[in-house]
Amino acid sequence: MIPAAFDYVRASSAAEAIQLIGQYGDEAKFLAGGHSLVPAMKLRLAQPTVLVDIGRVSDLSYIRDGGDHIAIGALTRHMDVEKSPVLAEHVPLLAHAAGHVGDPQVRHRGTIGGSLAHADPASDLPATTLALGATYVAEGPNGTREIAAADFYQGYFTSALAPDEMLTEIRVPKMGGAGWSFQKFNRRAQDWAIVGVAAWQRGSECGVGLVNMASTPVLASSVATAVAGGASAADAAEAAAADADPQGDLNASVEYRVHLAKVLTRRALEAAAS
Amino acid sequence: MEITVTINGKSHTADVEPRTLLVQFIREQVGLTGTNIGCDTSSCGACSVHVDGEAAKSCTLLAVQADGCSITTIEGMAAADGTLHPMQQAFMENHGLQCGYCTPGMVMAATSLLAENPNPTEEEVRIGLEGNLCRCTGYHNIVQSVLACAKS
Amino acid sequence: MTMTDNTTGVLGQRLLRREDPALLTGEARYTSDLPIPGALHLAVLRSPYARARIVSVDTSAAAAMPGVTAVFSGADLAEAWAGPMPCAWPVTEDMKSPTHYPLAVGQANYVGDGVACVLATSATAARDAIDAIDVEYEPLEAVIDLEDALSDRVVIHDEIGTNRSYTWDLKIEESEGQVDQAFADAAYSVKERYIQQRLIPAAMEPRAVAAIPQPFGGDMTLYSATQVPHILKVMTALTLGIPEHQLRVVAPAVGGGFGSKLNVYAEELLCVALAKRTGSPVRWTETRSEGNQATIHGRGQIQDIELAADSDGRLTAVRVRLIGDMGAYLQLVTPGVPLLGAFLYAGVYELPKAYDFSCTSVFTNMTPTDAYRGAGRPEATYAIERAMDSLAAEIGIDPLELRRRNFIPTASYPYEAMTGLVYDSGDHDRAATLAADMIDYAGVRARQQTQNVPGATKRLGIGVSTYFEMCGLAPSRVLASLNYGAGGWEAATVRVLPTNKIQVVTGTAPHGQGHETAWSMIVAEKMGVSPDDVDVLHSDTAIAPLGLDTYGSRSLSVGGVAIAIACDKVIDKAKQIAAHQLEANPDDLEFSGGEFRVAGSPDRAMPLAAVAFEAFTAHNLPDGLEPNLEAHTTYDPPNFSWPFGTHMCLVEVDTETGQVDVLKYVAVDDCGNQVNPLIVDGQVHGGVVQGLAQALYEEAVYDSDGNLQTSTLAEYLVPAASDVPAIETGHTVTPSPTNQLGVKGIGEAGTIASTPAVINAVVDALSGLGVRDVPMPASPNTVWRAINEAQGGQQ
C-alpha cells in the first residue's frame, strides 16, 4: 500500500519533461494520470527512483480535427475521449472503447497517452488505435517523430519510445462512416478484457485489433485479408488468432482465448457490417 | 514537498513526502477519516473522493498530484447544519448500506455519476458503479438509492 | 407463541437505521480511524514460500533503519506466549493440531505465514524496514491437493506425523445397516462429487488492531475489527497470560466480517504482546493483498454424496464423505466447520434414519480456513440440492416436483430429523409455490421448449434450491456434544433510567447488521416507549462484559430474545412498584402502551416514566425491593432456529463464450416474525450475491507450489453492481415456536440458498447438450470447457 520512496519533479512543458527524464536516466519514469503506474508502485512491483510528473502539461490535453484525422493530445483523459463530440462524429470506435477503460474514477484521471505508452497488451486503447491505423507522435531531445501504431508495440509493456522520449499526440484517421464494433469480454465490468476485439469495416476494407491475445496488442491482418478476399464474417473470423500468440492465465486457457477471439471477431464484423 | 489542497472548502498547506497517497494525506495529515481504504489495487473504490468535482480513487493519486486541486470528501457532503446530502438521505431511506465501509466511496461515486447522467436507467447505475465494491448489500439497495436520488 | 400484550406496533416496521447517519457522513470510527497519539506501527514480514525451513533471520539492517523501534523474529518472541494460538473446537479426542504461534518458529507453512515483524514510529517506516529483514529459507515441498495431503506422501508438520487432523463420524444408532440396505433396495440412486472451492471472505474493511497499555497497573485495551470482542478477550488473556480482568476489548465500527473476523489472529496477539513489552500503544492495519493471504479463507471441501430413492423418488438414504481443507493450522473454529453442515445433508426432505456421514480433515500448505458466511451449511445445502437435481434427471422428472415429493410435510412439525435434531417449524410447499409464482416457473419451462432447440447458442436455464438454515448456534448442551469450546447463550441487560430513557446492554457484536436499530425496536415494543428513547450499548467488554458475540445468524434468535426476556423481568419489577403505588395487587395490573393499569379500573394507572422515577428515588418502594429498574438475563435457547425457504434463479448461457447471464433471481425466505423487514431484505440481498459470487466468480487459486494467484482484489473477483442481478424477495412467515418473539436467523440464508440455485440453473440450461455438472466458479472458460467435454470435443 505504501510505495517505495522516490524523488518527484514536475514538468510544465513537454520540452522540460524530456530534459528532466534525460537528466535522471533509466530509473526515472513519466507520471501522467498515474493509473497504471501508481498501483504497481503500491505493491512495490515498480520502484522508480524519480517521477517526472507531466500531468500539468496542459497544452497536451486536446481533441482537434486535423482534416483527414483527429489529433488527440497525449494527456487527454479517457473521459474526455469518451465524451468528445468530435470523436463521436469521426472516430466513434475510439470514443466507445475509451468508455470501457477501467471504471469511471479511472477514466476521470487516466490519460490516453499514458495508457498507450504503458503498452499493456490487455488494455483497450492500444489495440483500438492499432485497428484504426493511428499514428503516434513522440517528442525527444532531437525533436519529434511519428511512429505508426503498428510499429509502436514491441513486447510486453515495451514500446518503441526511447527512454527520453515522450508520447505527445495520437493521430487517428477519420472513420468516414465505417461500421464498427468493440467487443470487450471480461468477467467483471471493471477488469481488463480476457479478450477484446476492436473492429471497423467499410465494404471489403476492415481493421481488427485484438486485446490480450499476445504480449503486444495484435493487428489481425489475416482477418482483414480474408474480408478483402470476400470471406464472410464467420469465415474471416476463423483467422482471428492467426496473428496472435496468447498466454493462459487465471481467466482463460490458451485454447479458450483463441476460441473467444474467433467468436468475438465474428460478432464484431457482423455488427460492423450491419 | 509543500502542497496546498482545498478540502471541503478549506485550504490545507502541508509538507508531504512525494510517495504520500492522496488518501493518506486526507486521513493522516488532514485527519478526515471518513474516506476509507479497502484495497491496494484501485479495485474497490472505498477511497473515492471528488477531485475538482469528479470522482477519483484517492488511493491511486499521489498527494502531490492533487496540489492546487479542490477535493470533496464524504465529510463535505452534508450541509453545515447537518442536513444530509440528497444522496446520503437516499442511501438511508433505501437501506443502501450495512457495515458502511464502502459507503463513503459509493456516495461519492454515485453523486459523480448523477452529475454526468442525471436520469440513469438501472443498468446505467450498475455500470456507473462498476468501480466500487460492496460486500454487504448485494448492491440491490445501493442501486435503488441512486435511482431514488435521481428521481427526487 | 405470543408477541406480548403491550403492542405498540413497532415490530415489523421498516424503521430506518439509526446506525446510518454516522456511517453516511464519515463520522463513524473504524479501528484504523482511531487517533492514537504515540502509537508504534506494526508490520509483518510474511513467508513467500508455502513451506520452508527458516534457517536464519537477520534483523540487524532493518533495526538500524530510521524510525524503527524494534524488529523481532518468531524465535525472538517465542517466550512471549503463554500458549499457542487457540483452537476452540477440538472436534474429536484424538484431533491433531500443530503448534501455531503468531510468528512462525522454525518452519513457515503457507505463503503469508508471519516470520518476523517490525515496530516503527510510522507505518511507512515499518513497511520500509520489512524489505530490509534478511531471512534465509530452505524451501520444502508444499502440499496443496487434498487427496495428496491425505496420502501423507509429504507430511507437513513433523510434530504430528500426519496430515490428517481428524475423522469425525455422525453416529446414528438406528442407521446401523440401514444405509447399505437402502442403497441395495433403491429404485434410483446417484453418486456425485462436488468441489467447494476456497473462498476469500473479503469484508470491505481490512482487519485492524490497536493495543493501548494503561500507564499504571498493567491494564490493556485492545481495539480490533472483530466480530467477537468477548471471545477475543478470553482467548487473548489465555494466550498471553494476561489476567482477564485487566484486559478490555473494544470493537469500534466494524466493516463487515462474514466469519473472517470471528477469530483470534496473530496480529491481535502481537499488538498486545508488543504493547505490553514496549509500554507504547501498538497498531496495525492490514493491506488487502496481505489480507488475502493472512485472513482466514472459507469453504475448501471435497464432497462425495450418494442418494438412494424409492420408485416414487422419495429419499431412502443419504451417504456423505467429506475431505475438509484445514489449511496450514487450526484457527479458532476451523475443524468444526464441516460438522455444522453434517446435520443438513438431507435438506428439507423427509429421510428415514438412514444417514451416514463421515468427514476427514487434512492440513495443507495454504492459508488456514475457518467459518465463512454459512460455515458448513452452504456446503451441505449445495451438495443435497445439486444431488437432488441429479436424482431428478436420473428419474426423469422435474426437479421442483421431486422436491415437492420429498418435502417434510407441514403437519409433521416439530419434526425429529434423522440426526436427532428437532426442526421447529416449516412450510416448504408454501415457500416453493410462492417462489415458483414469482419467477413464473411453468412459463419458463414452456419458453425453454422453444428457446433451447438444437443449435441454439443462448440457452435458458432455471435452478431451484430449498434450504434449512440451522442457526443461532445453540443450545449450549448441544454444542457440548459437539465438543465446541463455548456455550450458545447470550446476555442482555435492560436498564430504565430515571427519566424513562432505556439503556440496553447486549453481548452481540454487530458489524453491519443493524442491531442498534433492531434491538431498540424490540425494547420499544416490550416497554411501550419510542425506539428513539432506547440506547443500545455493545462491543466494549467494559460496558458489556458478558456475551458470545455475533456469528452463525445467532444475534436475533439468541441475543434479541435475551433482550425481550430482560424486558419482561424489568416489567415484573416495575409492576410491583406500580402496584404498591396504586395500592393494588400486582397480579391485577396490566401493562400496555408504557402504562400500568388496574384491570377493570382504567382511571387507576401509572406510566412507566413515573415508576422509573419512583424506582430511582426509592422513597416509597415495596418492602424488600431494591431501588432502580434494571434486569439482567443470560438466555440459553432450547433449540437452534430453523429458517427455511426456496430460491429460484433464471439464467441464459451463451454457449459460444460460456458466459452466464442471470436474468432473474427470486428469494423466498421464512425467518419467522420479522423485527425489521428492511433489514431482513438487506440481509437476503447481500447473502444471495455472496453465494452467487461463489457460483460464478470467486475462487482462491493456488499454483502447485502453494502461491496464491488471487492475492489482490484485481484477481480475486468480488463482483460489482454491474456483475450481478437485482434480487426479488418474497417471504412466508412461520413463527418459531421456541422463542417469545417467534424469530429465526436470516444472516446466512441467502448465501446458503443461492449457490446451488445458480449452478442448478446453469446445468439446467446446458442439460440438452449433455452437461451434468459445472464446477465452481462457473466462469465462462469453465462453462465452455464443460460444454466441450459433454460434446466430446476439445478442451
- Looking at residue C1, what is its pLDDT? 32
Contact of B122 with chain A, judged by CB distance below 8 Å, is answered with no
pLDDT at site C792: 86
A39 contacts on B by Cβ (under 8 Å): 40-42, 60
> Nearest Cβ partner of A255 from C657, C697, C794?
C794
Of B9, B23, B68, residue with least CA distance to A55: B68
Q: Are residues C773 and C699 in the same domain?
A: yes
Identify whether C132 is part of a domain: yes
H runs (alpha helix) in C343-463: 377-395, 399-406, 428-439, 441-451
Rounded Cα–Cα distance for residues A236 and A232 (Å): 6
C701–A contact, CB cutoff 8 A: yes
Whole-angstrom distance, CA of residue C284 vs CA of residue C277: 16
Strand ranges of the sheet holding A195-202, from the earlier edge strand across to the other edge: A179-185, A195-202, A205-211, A218-219
| Model pLDDT, residue C199 | 98
pLDDT band at A27 (very low <50, low <70, confident <90, very high): confident
Q: Please indicate, yes or no, if residue C187 is contained in any of the structural domains.
A: no
Residues C276 and C321 occupy one common structural domain: no
C465 — phi, psi (to 5°)? -145, 145
B11-16 average pLDDT score: 97
Q: Residue C8: what pLDDT?
A: 54
- Using a CB-CB cut-off of 8 Å, the residues of chain A touching B40 are 1, 39, 42-43
Mean pLDDT computed over A51-65 = 94
Q: Last residue of some domain: C294, C317, C340? A: C294
Q: C343-371 burial, b for 16+ CB within 10 Å, e for fewer? A: bbbbbbbbbbbbbbbbbbbbbbbbbbbbb
Q: What is the pLDDT of residues C637-667, one digit of tens each?
A: 999 999 999 999 999 999 999 999 999 999 9
**H/E element, C632:** strand C629-635
Q: Any CB–CB contact under 8 A between A146 and chain B?
A: no
* CA angle at B96 for the pair B93 and B97, rounded to the nearest 5°: 115
How far apart CA C378 and CA C196 sit, in angstroms, is: 10
Q: Which residue's C-alpha cell is 415495596?
A: C622
Q: Among C709, C720, C780, whose Cβ lies nearest the Cβ of A250?
A: C709
The pLDDT value given to residue A26: 83
Cis bond upstream, residue C201 (ω within 30): no
pLDDT recorded at residue C5: 40
In a domain? residue C581: yes
Inter-chain touch A188–C720, beta carbons under 8 Å: yes
How far is it, in rounded angstroms, from Cα C660 to Cα C762?
7
Rounded mean pLDDT of C491-519? 97
Q: Cα-atom radius of gyration of chain B, to the nearest Å?
A: 15
List the single range of A164-173, C472-481, C510-519 with lowest mean pLDDT.
C472-481
Res C19: pLDDT? 98
For chain C, what is the mean pLDDT? 96
Q: What pLDDT score was predicted for residue A58?
A: 79
**CATH number, position C52:** 3.90.1170.50
- Cell readout for A184 is 470487450
pLDDT-based confidence at C474, cuts 50/70/90?
Answer: confident
Mean pLDDT of B118-142: 98
* C436 and C578 part of one domain: no
d(CA A125, CA A55): 19
Average pLDDT value for chain A: 96
Residue for grid cell 402504562:
C595
The answer to whether C377 and C554 have CB atoms below 8 angstroms apart is no
C743 in the same domain as C669: yes
Please report the pLDDT score of residue C34 as a whole number. 98
Q: Are C784 and C795 in contact (CB under 8 A)?
A: no
Other residues' Cβ atoms within 10 Å of the Cβ of residue C477: 11
Q: How far apart are CA B67 and CA A183, in angstroms?
A: 38
Do A135 and A147 contact (CB within 8 A), yes or no?
yes
The DSSP-derived string for C438-467 is: HHTHHHHHHHHHHHS-TT-SEEEEEEEEEE
CA distance A51 to A38: 11
- Asked, as a colleague might, if the bond just before C35 is cis with ω within 30 of 0, I would say no
* Measured distance CA(B103)–CA(B99) in Å, rounded: 8
Number of domains comprising chain C:
3
Is C704 at the interface with chain A, CB within 8 A? no
Cβ C552 vs Cβ C375: under 8 Å: yes
**Residue C2 reports pLDDT greater than 70:** no
Question: Given CB atoms, is B41 within the 8 Å cutoff of chain A?
Answer: yes
Residues C625 and C653 both lie in one domain: no
Q: Which residues pair with A201 in a beta bridge?
A: A179, A206
Which has the higher per-residue pLDDT, A274 or C304?
A: C304
User: Dihedral through CA B6, CA B10, CA B11, CA B15, nearest 10?
Assistant: -90
For residue C686, report the phi and psi dihedrals to the nearest 5 degrees. -65, -40
Number of Cα atoms under 13 Å in the Cβ half of residue B144: 20
Mutate to test the interface with C, among A6, A106, A190 (most CBs of C within 10 A): A190
- The tens digit of pLDDT for each residue in C3-15 reads 344 445 899 999 9
C246–chain A Cβ distance below 8 A for any pair: no
Question: 3.30.43.10, 3.40.50.970, 3.40.718.10, 3.20.20.10: which CATH number matches A7-53?
Answer: 3.30.43.10
Q: Establish if C220 belongs to a structural domain.
A: yes
Give residues with Cβ within 8 angstroms of C553, minimum separation 6: C469, C471, C472, C641, C643, C745, C746, C747, C748, C749
C329 and C444 belong to one structural domain: yes
Residue holding cell 492459508? C367
Do C236 and C280 fall within a single domain? yes
Helices (H), C553-663: 561-582, 608-617
User: How does pLDDT run across C706-736, given as a tens digit for each residue?
Assistant: 999 999 999 999 999 999 999 999 999 999 9
Q: What is the model's pLDDT at position C793?
A: 65
Q: Is residue C483 part of a domain?
A: no
C-alpha cell, C468: 434449512
**C771-788 pLDDT per residue, tens:** 999 999 999 999 999 999
Same domain, C382 and C331: yes
| CATH number assigned to the domain comprising residue C359 | 3.30.365.10
Return the CATH number of A179-273, one of 3.30.70.600, 3.40.50.2300, 3.40.50.970, 3.30.390.50. 3.30.390.50
Q: Is the pLDDT of residue C320 over 70?
A: yes
pLDDT tens-digit map of C581-630: 999 999 999 999 999 999 989 889 999 999 999 999 999 999 999 999 99
Is the model's pLDDT at C149 over the cut of 60? Answer: yes
- Residue C156, in any domain of the structure: no
C282 and C365 fall within a common domain: no
Q: Which stretches of C655-792 are assigned E, i.e. beta strand?
A: 660-670, 728-731
- pLDDT at C341 (0 to 100): 96
Q: Nearest-CA neighbor of C426 among C666, C638, C635, C668?
A: C668
Domain boundary among C245, C276, C294: C294
Q: pLDDT > 90: what percent of chain B?
A: 100
Instruction: Report the 10 Å Cβ neighbour count for C699.
Output: 24
The grid coordinates listed for C750 are: 441467502
Is residue C794 predicted with pLDDT exceeding 80? no
CB-based contact, B37 to chain A, within 8 Å:
yes
Note whether A180 and A201 are within 8 A (CB).
yes
pLDDT above 80: residue A168:
yes
Q: Does A189 touch chain B (CB under 8 A)?
A: yes
Nearest residue to C595 (alpha-carbon basis) of C675, C582, C583:
C582
C313 in reach of chain B (CB within 8 A)? no
Among the partner residues A4, A188, A255, nearest to C795 by beta-carbon distance: A255
> What per-residue confidence (pLDDT) applies to C76?
96
Cα C408 to the chain's mean position, in Å?
26
Q: Which of B45, B62, B112 sits opposite A38 (nearest CB)?
A: B62
Going by C-alpha positions, the residue among A126, A256, A266, A127 that lies closest to residue A198 is A127
Cβ–Cβ contact A184 with B under 8 A: no
Q: What is the DSSP letter of B25?
A: I
8 Å CB contact between C640 and C505:
no
pLDDT at residue C141 tops 50: yes
Residues C594 and C672 in one domain: no
The one-letter amino acid code at B57 reads: K
Residues C534 and C627 in one domain: yes
Answer for the pair A61, A138: CB distance below 8 angstroms, yes or no: no
Share of chain C above pLDDT 90, in %: 95
Asked whether C222 and C272 are in contact (CB, 8 A), the reply is yes
Can you tell me the distance from the alpha carbon of A272 to that of A266, in angstroms, rounded to the nearest whole number?
10
Alpha helices for C1-41 (secondary structure H): 20-25
Q: Do the chains contact at B136 and C681, CB–CB below 8 Å?
A: no
% of chain C exceeding 70 in pLDDT: 99
Q: Where are the domains of chain A?
A: 7-53, 58-173, 179-273
Chain C hits for B95, CB-CB cut-off 8 Å, are 16-17, 678-679, 681-682
Question: Where in B21-128 does DSSP place strands (E)?
Answer: 48-51, 54-57, 70-72
Q: Please give, rounded to a whole number of angstroms, the shortest distance from the CA of B113 to a CA of chain C.
A: 14
With contact defined as beta carbons under 8 Å apart, do C236 and C86 qualify? Answer: no
Helix (H, G, I), strand (E, B) or coil at A65: strand
Which DSSP category does A111 fall into?
B
Q: Is C607 exposed, middle or buried (0-12, 13-18, 19+ CB in 10 A)?
A: middle
Instruction: Tell me the backbone φ, ψ of residue C475, rounded to 5 degrees.
Output: -75, 165
Mean pLDDT score, C150-170: 97
* Partner A contacted by C27 (CB < 8 A): no
Q: Which of B3, C124, B18 shows the shortest CA–CA distance to A28?
A: B18
**3-state percent helix, strand, coil for chain A, nearest multiple of 5:** 35, 25, 40
- The position carrying cell 508490520 is C43
Rounded CA gap, C698 and C158, in Å?
A: 33
Residue B149 predicted with pLDDT over 60: yes
Q: What's the mean pLDDT in C461-477? A: 92
pLDDT at C95 over 50: yes
Closest CA to B142 of C13, C686, C254: C686
Strand partners, C72: C117
Q: Give the domain range for residue C775.
A: 298-473+639-790
DSSP conformational letter for C603: E
Tell me if A6 and B37 make a contact (CB, 8 A cut-off): no
- Name residue C418's amino acid: M
Cell 467499410 belongs to residue: A202
What is the b/e burial string over C26-37, where b = at least 16 CB atoms within 10 angstroms of the residue's CB? Answer: bebebbbbbeee
Predicted ipTM beyond 0.85: yes
Contact C670, C644 (CB under 8 A): yes
pLDDT at position C624 is 95
Helix axes C428-439, C441-451, angle to 10 degrees: 50
CA-CA distance, C659 to A226, in Å (whole number)? 28
Identify the band that residue C758 occupies on the pLDDT scale cut at 50, 70 and 90: very high
pLDDT beyond 80 at C795: no
> Mean pLDDT over residues B119-134, rounded?
98
Average the pLDDT over C455-480 and give the result: 93
* Residues of C in Cβ contact (< 8 Å) with A1: 127, 287-288
Amino acid at C199: L
Whether omega before C643 lies within 30 degrees of 0, making that bond cis, reads no
In CATH, which of 3.50.50.60, 3.40.605.10, 3.30.465.10, 3.40.50.720 is domain A58-173? Answer: 3.30.465.10
Please report the residues numbered 634 through 693 in chain C whose beta carbons come closer than 8 angstroms to any beta carbon of chain A.
656-659
C293 neighbors C200 (Cβ within 8 angstroms): no
| Pair (C401, C546) in one structural domain | no
Contact partners for chain C, using 3 or more CB pairs closer than 8 A, are A, B
